[in-house]
Amino acid sequence: MPSEPIVEIANGKLRGAQTAGVYAFKGIPYGAPTGGANRFQPPRLPEPWAGVWAGVRDALTLGGRAPQWQGAPIRRPGMASLLGPVDTSPETEDCLNLHVWTPALSGGRRPVMVWLHGGAFHFGSANRAVTDGANLARRGDVVVVAVNHRLNILGHLDLSGIGGERDAHSGNAGVLDLVAALEWVRDNIDSFGGDAGNVTIFGESGGGGKVSVLLAMPKARGLFQRAVIQSGASVRVSTRERAAALTEAALQHVGIDRNSIDKLQTIPAEQLIAAITPAKQKVGRPKLPLLDRYDFGPVADGSDLPQQPCDPAPAAFSDDIPL
């Protein structure tokens, strides 16, 4: 096997690494940075890098993870024994990246497994050592993809009732990132020996919740063929009414009124994240907290997410997906 495997995808060539029979390509951008004017907006395609780095981009190190909620229980010392070492990768709004592990770059079209990390849509990343995809790729003869995407208030501040059409998708920006990642898989995974027509999405805890949400999103239709929900932590996402109340409370906390929401794209991300807990406290706990746990998570907005993921009547466009 070559010591420096190189693949070519839509945006240019990538240089990976090979260890113990597995090729790894890390930190591959599937979307543009999400800060500034792109904050709260649907994901945009990254710039091609052909002609940069002598035409080959290194994919040797993990990409940045989304800014994290400071109240996350994963930060508690006792969690390290369960989840392994604390993730110290940099937090950045340039977080739309993914990692690929594959046992071979040729020799057949292998099944693809796309891992969605847990964290209640508030924290976590695809960068933790405990969920490195090399072992699964090696033992299962599959191509493994792990995805970083926007979380918490940066991925799910519902401004649709204030900003009009421009912000119509803001409440679900973080899960639209997942759709963009699956579109990247569809368009590029054959370069890594994968079969774009044989994709399984899987995730645990909040990652299981993400699987549930994708099953209910029309824009995700046809991008995966199987789904695995590992301990999905909730059966409902935010209603538009609750999401709007949380948005109002967050705006009050950061001192921005409804007529000045453009300022939200320029204030530090840390200031927005610091508004999460006060906004939740102001709005109060939901009536059924064991079911309604995803404040500043996905929103059943009637458009990107037309219905609750676990509605008794499943979405017709996904009722043929083995679960």
- Asked whether 56 and 13 are in contact (CB, 8 A), the reply is yes
CA 308/CA 298 separation, integer angstroms: 10
DSSP 95-108: --EEEEEES-SSSS
Give the pLDDT confidence of 21-66 residue by residue, as tens digits: 999 999 999 999 999 999 999 999 999 886 665 689 999 999 999 9
Give the pLDDT confidence of 237-255 residue by residue, as tens digits: 999 999 999 999 999 999 9
Tell me what pLDDT residue 315 has. Answer: 75
Tell me what pLDDT residue 234 has. Answer: 62
Tell me what pLDDT residue 292 has. Answer: 62
Tell me what pLDDT residue 1 has. Answer: 44
Average pLDDT of the chain, as a whole number: 91
Per-residue pLDDT averaged across 113-138, rounded? 95
Tell me how many degrees the CA angle 321-322-323 measures, rounded to the nearest 5. 105
Give the pLDDT confidence of 261-292 residue by residue, as tens digits: 999 999 999 999 999 999 999 999 877 665 66
CA 62/CA 89 separation, integer angstroms: 8
Q: How does strand 22-29 pair with strand 97-102? A: antiparallel
Tell me what pLDDT residue 289 has. Answer: 62
Stated length of the chain: 323
Domain count, the chain: 1
Question: How far from 186 is each of 51, 70, 179, 224, 280, CA to CA, in Å?
Answer: 24, 34, 10, 9, 37
CA 318/CA 303 separation, integer angstroms: 16
- Asked whether 102 and 110 are in contact (CB, 8 A), the reply is yes
Give the number of other CB atoms < 10 A from CB of residue 122.
Answer: 25
pTM of the model: 0.94
CA 292/CA 235 separation, integer angstroms: 7
Residue 104 pLDDT greater than 70, yes or no: yes
Tell me how many degrees the CA angle 301-126-154 measures, rounded to the nearest 5. 40
Give the pLDDT confidence of 135-189 residue by residue, as tens digits: 999 999 999 999 999 999 999 999 999 988 999 999 999 999 999 999 999 999 9
Tell me what pLDDT residue 15 has. Answer: 96
Check which CATH number belongs to the domain holding 261 and give it.
3.40.50.1820
Per-residue pLDDT averaged across 78-86, rounded? 61
Domain around 160: 1-323
